[in-house]
């Protein structure tokens, strides 16, 4: 929450934004059957009902409890169910048991949401909100946007378990253009990394600091399904020299031979998506690959993944029109012309998720938001077609474990820049 | 299905019974929220929705497919979802994934039930049903009754995972009488075991055969919660000499210190049930104990568990009024006066579940019903307060693994009879 | 130990036998390298060094401690290492950690053996040994014989892990004769089961009691490698209808396609043995099959496994010359002529290992010898080519879990006898 | 191996060094019993016999096979046993099965060593060794030194499993001085990181490159047992706010409450070591802590761990007398006066193990030496009392997973430097 500077005049804007963000979460659940909202398909994923309740618990706990006179919890016992990982907020059910909590029902959770919204809105309607409280509210909105993306990735994973291959939406998907395969070069040197100045940011984007980079170049396009298929056909999943050791062991153990959600049916490559099963668009960006696969692909292609500092350095310049969440298309698409660094699919970077020099988390439970996860994960940048509009920025740091594949994670290549000419 | 002899006149009776059994299954689901019908709390348990669909699949597959001209499956792909364990009927989803199958929805499953019921009833309304087909129908009804009991045990297990301790019913439970502690003696000798004559029976009750027993006696009462508490207080869970080795290892590993669903709150013993949390009635039969616990208790009490042959020999004489499923009381209760061998809680016997001498299963998929489970399990006898009326009989053999506790399984003591006087 | 009646005059004979048994254990270790004596290849197996020490601990703990004045343990702390499973004797290292205990060294263990032998022999040289103490000594000898067989099965398992396929012995193996395939019939009726009268027996062979059998017949030969190969070639490992459900699941999970130690090399079937790799002798008895495989084979062959009562009833009549341990041949061999029921390979029976009616174990630690394992296991009868001479008898009950394959366990068929003619 | 420049004149020096390094490995095994050389106490550790054979296989495979005319492998089948992780060199036994390979025996492995040494020495005695081959030989020596340290850490882990707490050496340990608690400051700025110029280095120390650092200071002393005890007594293992989330979960699951090898006996803190059990010297450096513990301690102490760039920047200036392997003392000791950055115990850094910008591994199997492990691990710097003399240097990068504790890994604090005065 560093760097938050909310002028008193923004309070009304924040109230509007609160309504829009909260409404979007419920809208995302609308195409689902009630049954779909209860199940948890793996420990990394959560039920839709849980997402809707947990984001509400966040506002109740971190905002209302601190600003309401005579605050009372909405229901005794629910904090135990809807606290995700905040040790300072007490015990909670094991992460992999969330699908067993059939009560409160979906209807009760929706009531919880609306009751909480009313309380927040009543409070915001007063003139007296302190800046720190508005900052927590803003944090809660960004938090909810993160859960909107997770809700979609988790629903996709759940529906993918069902051999009937149910669809979340019935819309059709436009065909991808073939990307121009162009690299964007940078001379390197001392660059400034991290967030500063105005606008919201998470604590892990701070402090802004200097870093030194050699000359490099980063691809303007995301690796396509077609390119990735060539990697597979060239034995990519059978050549240990392309892989990190941990990745190779995992891929053998799990029998990986293709990205998550790809399937071969009658000799044709297809993929499961929120649109149901689709023919694989060979010009569209590949996604649902792990870090291990992204890294192996890059090695095969004679390139490497960008570092997060390289990515951010180029992204600061960018002024594009990325493919973010639009409720119509739930797969990455390659548009015509220059692609830019944002949107479509998250970019695995080569950077371990670590604190920036001088980083210190907030005190109290909110300090657990990001800092305690700074080990064993890799940074991803740029957002995806599941990321809500306005959520991502050049300094934004997403992070997942190297084996995880259920996010909309793709591959962008980078290279050391040795000569002056573009590749 | 041996021993089935359905006179043509019974066809109408069977149609009535079909309607009653099928209606009961849906009625058992009625107190639940839709959310409760989707979740699977452990691999041994199944979602309510799955029980309702699987029992329907059974009629569709084993009856309709064989008797309907121009038979067509109700929906392509559903057999994969709703086949439980019949290898001869093809592949099926892993048992522990049933809770992830959110489609078809509950409403679609109910439609499936009703459409199937119509087809069955239309067929039964004709005069021409062959005897073997009626026998399969009858088998399907007994199969569905077994799933009615499982539905209740599985719901109880699911609701028990929820720290909010939701209730399935709101009725109150009558207090138990203190049982008379009386043993029923038998002189032993050559006895006849297994089913013969009229009425339905499962294949595992056949063939009827001779067995030799020494003199023995079996308790008229089920071990009570109070008696079991004395075992706990005497260190029953801390004294390895009372336990089978596998049971002791399991109890240490899992930290068992009391029956499943017991809890101590503010120094008072309570138990979770379909009525929610109840104070522990010290005169009521203990239940939700594993074979290991039943066996250890019996050793502690200076007794043993009955063999299934002993139990059956006495049960053949009995003409009682057992506590079976009545939709009002979902915990075992000790009534005043003689108890008899049936009802309240299943009796763990000391008998491994094995084929009777000369046993041969039916050919085809139906032969998988019982025979292939005849290893690693123990026989239970007598039925419980979750067992539908009319379902159980003296020759009925239920069976579970020795570590399983989520069934309504209790303890009945037996002893070798050495002197003429009753204990 | 029931039924033991040792006349004072037998004390000298017992001393001789003590020396012979103890010497054999050390002799069995002689062909091994020191390195082979340390390792533990799986939790079910134990290092040779451990077997040699544990059997010594048994005499120290159950005999010397009770009969020596001023008894002192040989070394403090060793009981923790060499107690196998006697809860009454205190804590012990986890079973699967035995291979990590590199000290005491083998030389120290041999010293321990010899020091203990001296103490035992000194005590036996006195006239005053009480009968109960001699009974414990005798039990210790039978216990050590059981460990002699285990030592060999465990060494075979260990050496089998080594791709260099080291040999325990260099002797050659005689070719098997083709067995006459003859069944031995019995009319059934009331039979007497269990040990009575003179000679040593384990507590699990008691009490002698009556059982009722239908007419049956049991094969005079053990199923051969050639017969078992025919089962494999007929799809035995791919046809679920032949298998118990637990066995089928296990065989799929573990990828079983043949008995343990079989391998196919250049299209020829071979087997690993204590003689190293051997061509598979098609007339020799198949061994190293689990109960699941034995049961599936029998079903495929249109037969079944014998019950332990059937086996014992026929074995009581037998006066043969079985293939037991002879230090020259460490694989089962089919001799010419009638085979009889004993030796070559243990016979899986269809009987769950359970207490005989009226069974009660000894009090104290010795009561843990057999009784606490009476669940989840199946009885095997008859001994094997690894069983020391004189160790096995008609009433002897060996027992293992149905999935275990590393013992010399084979298959004997049985059938209900319906007509008077032999098959 | 980059940066290797071996002048022809150095060939003789290399031959001497070869003899010394090879002799040290065998000398380290000398205090052990043969039994100790066979066992593997966990998958991360290897048997002594395996270390001795694997390091020999390395010379055979990467040197002799390439330089000997008419090269023949020493024994067929051994590569399968003694290849560690080189995919390009073919299949190998699973890492956790190394303790089951009892043959070849220790004596055979020693013969293998000596025969290989002879071949290497014969080759070195010729004048014609090409530079690349000498570079591989040199790599083999550094590789063997790494295994010397592992041999000791693995022996310590093995002996620690034995409740008899056997000693590797009987020498006594000098008492530690109390360290001066002084920080060494650095103004930061653009620094040069990685190896360049003369002398051996591993590929992961390349290429030398620029990095930018803020002002910082690093402790001259390693955190002591006494300081760590204060952390424990202040609830260090019970306060989640001090821990990374993955570390907290692991510590709960495994019941961590103190460093590996610490034990409390009669209220006194002790530690197991290669000297057997020792009283805990409160001034000696704490070791056998995981990254998670090091990081939690630093947070508790109001400091942080140094980055590897910070550490290296200061270490380049150092000219000390560190405590490395001396065959007399096998625990870290604090000497009087300034400590310096090297020796005693490896320093966990905050840096994820990653390729330096522009890193490229060698081609072929040797390229697997370091590069494929560059994920999921943290860098450690400085060497320990188990590290052979001359092995470590300022640019040396050791790496382990954050949960691993069996190495001699300790804690050095660092801080951002905000003011000009020393702390």
Q: How far is the C-alpha of B68 from the C-alpha of D224, rounded, in Å?
A: 83
Token representation of residue D111:
């013969």
Give the total residue count for chain C.
Answer: 423
Q: Is the pLDDT of residue C8 over 70?
A: no
Is C172 inside a domain boundary? no
Is A101 inside a domain boundary? yes
Tens digits of residue pLDDT in A270-302: 999 999 999 999 999 999 999 999 999 999 999
CA atoms within 13 A on the CB side of C205: 23
Residue C361's pLDDT is 87
Q: A49 CB near a chain B CB, below 8 Å?
A: yes
DSSP secondary structure letters along B181-212? --EEEE--EEEEES--SSS---GGG-S-EEEE
Q: D99 CB near a chain C CB, below 8 Å?
A: yes
- Beta-bridged to residue B74, according to DSSP, are none
Q: Is the pLDDT of residue A2 over 90?
A: no
- C partners (3+ CB pairs within 8 A) are B, D
Q: Is the pLDDT of residue D7 over 70?
A: no
Is C277 inside a domain boundary? no
- Beta-bridged to residue A276, according to DSSP, are A273
State the average pLDDT for chain C: 94
Tens digits of residue pLDDT in B273-297: 999 999 999 999 999 999 999 999 9
Residue with tokens 């669809």: A167
**Which residue of B211, B309, B350, B375 to mutate against C (max C Cβ within 10 Å)?**
B375
Contact between D15 and D124 under an 8 Å Cβ cutoff? The reply is yes
Percentage of residues in chain D having pLDDT higher than 90: 89
Residue A8's pLDDT is 55
Averaged pLDDT, D187-193: 97
Tens digits of residue pLDDT in D110-124: 999 999 999 999 999
Q: Is the peptide bond before B207 cis (omega within 30 degrees of 0)?
A: yes
pTM, entire model: 0.95
Residue D138's pLDDT is 96
Q: Is the pLDDT of residue C116 over 90?
A: yes
Is D309 inside a domain boundary? yes
- CA dihedral sign of residues D287, D288, D294, D298: negative
Q: Helix A106-125 vs helix A48-59: angle between axes, to the nearest 10 degrees?
A: 30
Residue D420's pLDDT is 46
Contact between C164 and D109 under an 8 Å Cβ cutoff? The reply is no
Residue D4's pLDDT is 44
- The count of CB pairs under 8 A between chains A and B is 82
Is D22 inside a domain boundary? yes
Same domain, B148 and B188: no
φ/ψ (deg, to 5) at C379: -85, 140
State the average pLDDT for chain B: 94
Q: Is the peptide bond before D41 cis (omega within 30 degrees of 0)?
A: no
pLDDT-based confidence at residue B33 (cuts at 50, 70, 90): very high
Do B163 and A41 count as a contact with CB atoms less than 8 A apart?
Answer: no
pLDDT-based confidence at residue C363 (cuts at 50, 70, 90): confident
Averaged pLDDT, A292-316: 98
Structural domain tally of chain A?
A: 2
Same domain, A248 and A200: yes
- Beta-bridged to residue D410, according to DSSP, are D347
Averaged pLDDT, D204-233: 97
Q: Helix A106-125 vs helix A11-29: angle between axes, to the nearest 10 degrees?
A: 170
**Higher-pLDDT residue of A197, A292:** A292
Averaged pLDDT, D237-250: 97
Q: In this predicted structure, which of B394-403, C271-280, D314-323 has the lowest mean pLDDT?
A: D314-323
State the average pLDDT for chain D: 94
Chain A residues 4-43 with CB within 8 Å of chain D: none
Which residue of chain C has the CA closest to B401? C376
Minimal C-alpha gap between B150 and chain A (Å): 18
Averaged pLDDT, C255-283: 96
Q: In this predicted structure, which of A5-9, B49-53, D211-215 has the lowest mean pLDDT?
A: A5-9
**Which residue of B85, B359, B372 to mutate against C (max C Cβ within 10 Å)?**
B372
B87, B357, B373 member nearest C240 (Cβ) = B87
pLDDT-based confidence at residue B8 (cuts at 50, 70, 90): low
A77, A106, A162 member nearest B163 (Cβ) = A77
From D100, D129, D160, the end of a domain falls on: D160
From B160, B193, B208, the end of a domain falls on: B160
Q: How far is the C-alpha of A98 from the C-alpha of A82, rounded, in Å?
A: 9
Tens digits of residue pLDDT in C92-113: 999 999 999 999 999 999 999 9
Residue with tokens 């109740």: A60
Q: Is the peptide bond before C104 cis (omega within 30 degrees of 0)?
A: yes
SS3 C343: coil
Residue C12's pLDDT is 83
Chain B residues 294-323 with CB within 8 Å of chain C: 295, 307
C49, C81, C158 member nearest D100 (Cβ) = C158
Chain A residues 252-281 with CB within 8 Å of chain D: none
Same domain, B149 and B19: yes
Give the total residue count for chain A.
Answer: 423
Contact between D285 and D179 under an 8 Å Cβ cutoff? The reply is no
Token representation of residue C59:
């005499």
Q: How far is the C-alpha of B220 from the C-alpha of B182, rounded, in Å?
A: 6
Token representation of residue C89:
């004797």
Same domain, D200 and D156: no
Tens digits of residue pLDDT in C75-97: 999 999 999 999 999 999 999 99
Is B265 inside a domain boundary? no
B100, B106, B158 member nearest A100 (Cβ) = B158
Neighboring chain C residues of B85 at a CB cutoff of 8 Å = 245
Of residues D213, D230, D210, D259, the one with CA closest to residue D414: D213
Tens digits of residue pLDDT in D123-144: 999 877 899 999 999 999 999 9
- The count of CB pairs under 8 A between chains A and D is 88
Q: How far is the C-alpha of D93 from the C-alpha of C35, rounded, in Å?
A: 18
Residue A27's pLDDT is 98
Of residues C301, C302, C254, C248, the one with CA closest to residue B88: C248
Q: Do chains D and C touch (3 or more CB pairs under 8 A)?
A: yes
Residue C422's pLDDT is 40
Contact between D48 and D151 under an 8 Å Cβ cutoff? The reply is yes
Q: Which residues contact D280 (CB under 8 A, 6 or more apart)?
A: D225, D229, D262, D268, D269, D270, D271
**Which residue of B87, B212, B403 to mutate against C (max C Cβ within 10 Å)?**
B212
Same domain, A123 and A194: no
B39, B93, B103 member nearest A100 (Cβ) = B39
- Beta-bridged to residue D271, according to DSSP, are D262, D278
Tens digits of residue pLDDT in A348-381: 999 999 999 999 888 878 889 999 999 999 999 9
Same domain, D242 and D375: yes
Residue with tokens 């025919």: C230
Residue A421's pLDDT is 45
Q: How far is the C-alpha of C103 from the C-alpha of C40, rounded, in Å?
A: 14
SS3 A146: helix
Q: Is the pLDDT of residue B9 over 80?
A: no
Q: Print the domain residue range for C302.
A: 183-258+284-419
Of residues A277, A283, A81, A83, the one with CA closest to residue A174: A283
Neighboring chain C residues of B292 at a CB cutoff of 8 Å = 375
Quote the DSSP letter at residue D343. S
A246, A372, A402 member nearest D245 (Cβ) = A372
Contact between A228 and A409 under an 8 Å Cβ cutoff? The reply is no
Same domain, D233 and D137: no
SS3 B347: strand
Residue B5's pLDDT is 45
CATH of the domain at D379: 3.90.1580.10
Do A376 and D376 count as a contact with CB atoms less than 8 A apart?
Answer: yes
Tens digits of residue pLDDT in C186-237: 999 999 999 998 899 999 999 999 999 999 999 999 999 999 999 999 999 9
DSSP secondary structure letters along B244-306? -HHHHHHHHHHT--S-TTEEEETTEEEEEETTEEEE--TTSBP-S--HHHHHHHHHHTT-BPP
Residue B325's pLDDT is 98
In C98-145, the DSSP E strands lie at none
Do D248 and A87 count as a contact with CB atoms less than 8 A apart?
Answer: yes
Is A263 inside a domain boundary? no
Neighboring chain D residues of C36 at a CB cutoff of 8 Å = 102-103
DSSP secondary structure letters along A38-66? T---STTS--HHHHHHHHHHHHIIIIIHH
Of residues C226, C249, C251, C399, the one with CA closest to residue C301: C226
Same domain, C249 and C396: yes
CATH of the domain at C92: 1.20.120
Is D277 inside a domain boundary? no
Cα dihedral value B161, B167, B172, B176, nearest 10: -20
Q: Which residues contact B398 (CB under 8 A, 6 or more apart)?
A: B346, B379, B380, B381
Which residue of chain C has the CA closest to D165? C103
Same domain, D233 and D134: no
Averaged pLDDT, B356-364: 88
The C-alpha angle D273, D279, D283, rounded to 5 degrees, equals 95
Q: A47 CB near a chain B CB, below 8 Å?
A: no
Same domain, C113 and C201: no
Q: D103 CB near a chain C CB, below 8 Å?
A: yes
Same domain, B220 and B147: no
State the average pLDDT for chain A: 94
Same domain, D232 and D301: yes
Tens digits of residue pLDDT in C148-187: 999 999 999 999 999 999 999 999 999 999 999 999 999 9
Averaged pLDDT, D44-66: 98
pLDDT-based confidence at residue D9 (cuts at 50, 70, 90): low
SS3 A268: strand
Averaged pLDDT, B303-311: 98
Averaged pLDDT, A245-250: 97
CB atoms within 10 A of CB A2: 20
Q: Is the pLDDT of residue A150 over 90?
A: yes
Residue D38's pLDDT is 98
Neighboring chain D residues of C99 at a CB cutoff of 8 Å = 39, 99
Q: B99 CB near a chain A CB, below 8 Å?
A: yes
């Amino acid at each position: 929450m560093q760097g938050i500077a909310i002028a008193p005049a923004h309070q009304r804007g924040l109230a509007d934004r609160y309504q829009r963000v909260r409404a979007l979460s419920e809208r995302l659940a609308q195409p689902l059957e009630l049954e779909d909202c209860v199940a948890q398909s793996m420990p990394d994923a959560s039920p839709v009902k849980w997402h809707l309740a947990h984001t509400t618990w966040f506002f109740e706990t971190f905002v209302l409890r601190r600003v309401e006179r005579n605050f009372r919890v909405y229901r005794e016992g629910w904090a135990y169910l809807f606290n995700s990982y905040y040790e300072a907020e007490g015990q909670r059910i094991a992460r992999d048991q969330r699908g067993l909590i059939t009560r409160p029902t979906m209807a009760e959770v929706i009531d919880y949401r609306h009751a909480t919204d009313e309380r927040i809105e009543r409070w915001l309607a007063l003139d007296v909100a302190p800046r720190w409280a508005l900052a927590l509210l803003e944090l809660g909105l960004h938090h909810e946007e993160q859960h909107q993306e997770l809700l979609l990735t988790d629903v996709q994973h759940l529906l993918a378990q069902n051999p009937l291959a149910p669809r979340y939406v019935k819309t059709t998907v436009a065909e991808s253009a073939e990307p121009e395969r162009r690299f964007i070069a940078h001379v390197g040197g001392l660059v400034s990394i991290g967030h500063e100045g105005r606008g919201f940011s998470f604590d892990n984007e701070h402090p802004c600091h200097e870093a030194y980079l050699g000359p490099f170049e980063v691809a303007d396009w995301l690796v396509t399904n077609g390119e990735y298929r060539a990697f597979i056909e060239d034995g990519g999943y059978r050549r240990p020299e392309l892989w990190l050791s941990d990745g190779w062991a995992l891929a053998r153990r799990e029998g990986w031979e293709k990205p998550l959600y790809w399937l071969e049916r009658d000799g044709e490559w297809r993929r499961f998506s929120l649109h149901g099963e689709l023919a694989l668009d060979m010009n569209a960006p590949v996604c649902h690959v792990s870090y291990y696969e992204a890294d192996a692909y890059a090695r095969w292609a004679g390139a490497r993944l960008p570092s997060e500092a390289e990515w951010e350095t180029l992204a600061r310049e960018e002024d594009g029109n990325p493919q973010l969440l639009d409720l119509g298309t739930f797969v990455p698409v390659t548009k015509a012309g220059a692609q830019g660094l944002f949107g479509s699919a998250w970019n695995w970077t080569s950077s371990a998720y670590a604190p920036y020099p001088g980083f210190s988390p907030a005190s109290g439970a909110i300090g657990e938001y990001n800092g305690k996860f700074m080990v064993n994960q890799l940074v991803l940048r740029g957002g995806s077609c599941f990321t809500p509009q306005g959520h991502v920025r050049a300094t934004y740091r997403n992070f997942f474990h190297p084996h995880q594949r259920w996010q909309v994670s793709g591959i962008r290549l980078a290279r050391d820049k040795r000569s002056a000419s573009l590749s």
